[in-house]
Structure 1
Amino acid sequence: MKLQCEVEVINRMLPTFGMRNRGRGTRAVLSVGRQEEKGSGQRGPIYLMICTIKDKAGSRYKLQENIENLFSKFISEGKATIRLREPALDICLSKADVSNLKNFISAVSLAHKGTDASPVPLSRLTPAKTSEIEKPRAKMIITCKKDYPLTKSFPYSLEHLQVSFCKLARVDMRMLCLKRLQKLDLSSNHIKKLPKTIGDLVCLQELILHNNFLETFEVELCNSTLRNSLKSLDLSENKLKALPFQLCNFRELVSLKLDGNELVQLPFAIGKLSKLRFLSATKNKLPYLPNSFKTLVLENLDLFGNPFAKANPMVPDIQLKIPLTLLETASRATLTYRISYGPQVIPKHLCQDLSVAKTCDCGGPCLSSFIQTIVVMNLHQVSQTVVLVDSMGGTEAPIICYFCSLTCYSMFLDKYLQSTRV
């Protein structure tokens, strides 16, 4: 039975001599095994062996009838203490895998009671390997193709992995086995498509794909577990022409970078990203901003270098049907009264139509029957800091507006005309 964790060995006799313990743990491998007695047919006693980087041969302590107490109150936090009678030591364990620690403490307890070896999973008391004792690697940065591991696996313990300037044409599937990964930086490669299994990285908080050849962003990623973990997404300097509206499923997203792509529009439901604070989409092909953009609450916004269209609220695009069709009326009522729906109740294509419904200036929904126009919005309404939209020093941008009826559009026009007179 072996356990990898941090160990602090405390001598309970030191205070008697006016001395103190060191007070910090060290990485170690603990083994519970039987001492081999050469030349005798008898089985030797069971020992606890502790191997550290400074003592790979290990220190051994007898376990049978030699444990004064086992402290396991905090075992669910990966902590426990083994108190030996002779020598008078407290062996404090921490940062251990909870499941392995529970099994290890059970094995120690059985060994203390002198239980026969069969129920106790014993190990050979041999010196530990350096790889077993070394502290798990949490960070790896590779910025040169010759340093990229071709035959070795990535350390399972990685939390931060950066692989840049390695000319990767695809995401290495070995990276997708790193379940502890919190930050994945694949910037400056040749990646054209993302595997759907990136969504299996349940701890991933930061995904950097700057300067690649991405042409699409998969809808499946937007519906994966990344919805609950991803906080930062960098898709800048790629070849993206559009983003799926499901991108707005990343409700934990705080930072979004879309600079240097070929985007002709932002996701229409971008306003649903309630935690978004930093947004940059410079040097794209955006003619205007989506209607929900005005509900964002940002700290920093940069939209420089987009060919924004000139707003003209007096020239609307009228797609309003009077009277409304039965489908439009029913759809509006479903959304207004928050009636639950799904593919098991109505056809799947109707569910999709409802999920992309537009919002009128009055707050009501509209689907295929509406009046559309473009107005000017001062970007300081949604962001504390705004980078100038153009070289002329402007901080205004066109935003698309929808109206569910002639009444709503007329009310908007009245307010607009009054403001222009003033």
Structure 2
Amino acid sequence: MKLHCKIEIYDRTLSLHRKSQRSILAYVKDSVNDDLCFYLWTRQNKQGTKYKITNNIRKIFKKFITNGKATISLIEPCHDLIIQSDAIQLKSFLNIMKHIIDGLCKSLDKYISKSNITFKSSEFYSLQKVVVKKKSEYPILQGFPRTTEQLVLSGLDRKSFDRQILTLRNLKFLDLSNNKISFLPKELGTLPYLQTLDLSHNNLGKSIRSKWTWLEQTALRRNLYFLDISNNLLTDLPVQIGRLKGLKELKIRHNMLTQLPQNIGTMNNLKLLDVAKNNLLFLPGTIQHLRLYFLDISENLFSKINYNIAFNERNLDKGLPSLVEFSARTLLKSRITYDASLIPYTLVQYLDEAKYCFSCKSACFDHYSRILTHFFPLTFSVNMKNTLNQHFNYEYYFCSTTCHNLMSFSNRNINT
């Protein structure tokens, strides 16, 4: 067993502290007398320092082991090894040491390293960043250090999400790209500091709608600022995407999307949107409310449909709203943060599927009018990438005759 850690050495004879260093501890069998000992390696000392265990452990201090801290006090030399590491791995390491001290060594062979083991400098990795490049290097048994902030598990051909990732409460950057993952657990959205999530080149398009609940969790909605779900066989973009109010960059390129959800126009912090290489027929009109600095719409199907102005109206005479619509409007008016733990999930779905009036920006539910047109009344200043110079249309929704007429009036003024 190898324990990646930070170690500060206190020399009791000289009352001297040596600066904490990134280190590796491992159990080794002495080639001379077959005694079990443990070695300490650092970047500066790749040959390692050997410490006897039997009759040489003065005391082990484990008061703060739940915080990943412990001290091994040795008799010879007069050193105290002050260890800081992942709590679970540190507990396992000290349990093995207790078995050695108690003489219970028969079942410990799998934890004992070779006597001539050496390490490269790259193996003294930062506990904050873990990169697994090969399947054979995947830490199935020992897990990831709980202090991990950046985790890269790209190109490992994994078909399922590893739930031990959910224990990494300090995680800020997660790269699961180039795998075959089709499902992500709800708990992924509860990681309190997750900011960057790369899920490109997976199979998320095979997930049914209910499997996107990880997008609904409060922590993810507030903190996530980068999301890449490109190359995922997506035919529909989940409406929950519009609830990621902190998102700044969204990449959805190379899927099979025919349209984008209307609530994408409510993502006020979005700066980069990449929807290239899809099957989009039009863009939501509300996208013009965003303050994008880059929009890539290249290689879509815009030119396959030649709309001039097409109306597809529904009844705008509202009458009495349904109880569901009344509840939804009351909730929106209160401006509270909601999820399925506070309100019925059917109401969450109803709110997520709302259209948004282009004129007044209010939600449209059971009554609205819809227009498809190339005309856009707002000044939409954005660096737009459109490699084929395709003509494209916007899809507009309006909540009332008044808002609808504002569009028609603006259109007439432009044409004259």
Which bracket does the TM-score occupy, shorter chain normalised? 0.5 to 0.7
Does the 8 Å CA contact 2:65/2:87 hold for their aligned counterparts? no
Which residue pairs with 2:402 in the alignment?
407
Counterpart among 3, 6, 21 of residue 24 in structure 1: 21
Within 2, Cα distance between the matches of 1:352 and 1:282? Answer: 28
Which residue pairs with 2:143 in the alignment?
156
Which residue pairs with 2:291 in the alignment?
297
Structure 1: runs of 5+ lacking an equivalent: 32-48, 109-116, 143-147
Deviation at 1:263, TM superposition (A): 1.1
State the AA in 2 paired with 1:156: G
Does the 8 Å CA contact 1:8/1:25 hold for their aligned counterparts? no
State the AA in 2 paired with 1:162: S
Within 2, Cα distance between the matches of 1:275 and 1:338? Answer: 21
Structure 2: runs of 5+ lacking an equivalent: 29-36, 42-46, 146-150
User: 1:60-116 CA distances to partner (integer Å, 9 max, x unpaired)?
Assistant: 58565x89xx898x8776456678898664533223428957x97xxx9xxxxxxxx
Which residue pairs with 2:366 in the alignment?
368
Counterpart among 242, 247, 252 of residue 236 in structure 2: 242
Describe how 1:322-341 pairs up with structure 2 within 5 A. 322=317, 324-327=319-322, 330=326, 333-334=329-330, 337-338=333-334
Counterpart of 2:81 in 1: which secondary structure? strand
Instruction: Identify if the C-alpha distance between structure 1 residues 7 and 226 changes in structure 2 by more than 3 Å, giving closer, same or farther.
Output: farther
Instruction: Identify if the C-alpha distance between structure 1 residues 317 and 81 changes in structure 2 by more than 3 Å, giving closer, same or farther.
Output: same
1:141 aligns with 2:141: no
Which residue pairs with 2:355 in the alignment?
358
Does the 8 Å CA contact 1:219/1:246 hold for their aligned counterparts? no
User: 1:182-234 CA distances to partner (integer Å, 9 max, x unpaired)?
Assistant: 534342x6x4x713548558657423332x66644443443127843565443
Within 2, Cα distance between the matches of 1:342 and 1:238? Answer: 26
Deviation at 1:162, TM superposition (A): 1.8
Instruction: Identify if the C-alpha distance between structure 1 residues 352 and 415 changes in structure 2 by more than 3 Å, giving closer, same or farther.
Output: same
Counterpart of 2:154 in 1: which secondary structure? strand
Counterpart of 1:8 in 2: which secondary structure? strand
1:130 aligns with 2:130: no
Does the 8 Å CA contact 1:209/1:236 hold for their aligned counterparts? yes
Within 2, Cα distance between the matches of 1:80 and 1:153? Answer: 24
Within 2, Cα distance between the matches of 1:218 and 1:251? Answer: 23
Counterpart of 2:322 in 1: which secondary structure? helix
State the AA in 1 paired with 2:372: I
Larger radius of gyration: 1
Counterpart of 1:162 in 2: which secondary structure? coil
Deviation at 1:241, TM superposition (A): 1.9
1:58 aligns with 2:51: yes
Which residue pairs with 1:194 in the alignment?
182
Instruction: Identify if the C-alpha distance between structure 1 residues 123 and 386 changes in structure 2 by more than 3 Å, giving closer, same or farther.
Output: farther
Within 2, Cα distance between the matches of 1:270 and 1:244? Answer: 10
Within 2, Cα distance between the matches of 1:332 and 1:172? Answer: 38
Deviation at 1:406, TM superposition (A): 1.6
Deviation at 1:348, TM superposition (A): 6.6
Counterpart among 203, 209, 213 of residue 200 in structure 2: 209
Does the 8 Å CA contact 1:50/1:59 hold for their aligned counterparts? yes
Counterpart of 2:21 in 1: which secondary structure? coil
Task: Normalising by structure 2, report the TM-score.
Answer: 0.65
- Give me the identity figure in percent: 22
Within 1, Cα distance between the matches of 2:379 and 2:131? Answer: 39
User: 1:355-378 CA distances to partner (integer Å, 9 max, x unpaired)?
Assistant: 422222113332121121135349
1:319 aligns with 2:314: yes
Does the 8 Å CA contact 2:271/2:291 hold for their aligned counterparts? yes
Within 2, Cα distance between the matches of 1:352 and 1:160? Answer: 33
State the AA in 1 paired with 2:214: S
Counterpart of 2:39 in 1: which secondary structure? strand
Describe how 1:391-406 pairs up with structure 2 within 5 A. 391-392=388-389, 397-406=392-401
State the AA in 2 paired with 1:161: L
Does the 8 Å CA contact 1:136/1:157 hold for their aligned counterparts? no
Within 2, Cα distance between the matches of 1:269 and 1:339? Answer: 16
Within 2, Cα distance between the matches of 1:272 and 1:370? Answer: 18
Deviation at 1:402, TM superposition (A): 1.7
Does the 8 Å CA contact 2:283/2:393 hold for their aligned counterparts? yes
State the AA in 2 paired with 1:402: Y
State the AA in 1 paired with 2:11: N
Instruction: Identify if the C-alpha distance between structure 1 residues 201 and 153 changes in structure 2 by more than 3 Å, giving closer, same or farther.
Output: farther
Cα RMSD between the aligned structures? 5.2
Task: Normalising by structure 1, report the TM-score.
Answer: 0.64
Instruction: Identify if the C-alpha distance between structure 1 residues 343 and 257 changes in structure 2 by more than 3 Å, giving closer, same or farther.
Output: closer
Deviation at 1:292, TM superposition (A): 3.5
Within 1, Cα distance between the matches of 2:369 and 2:80? Answer: 76
Does the 8 Å CA contact 2:281/2:301 hold for their aligned counterparts? yes
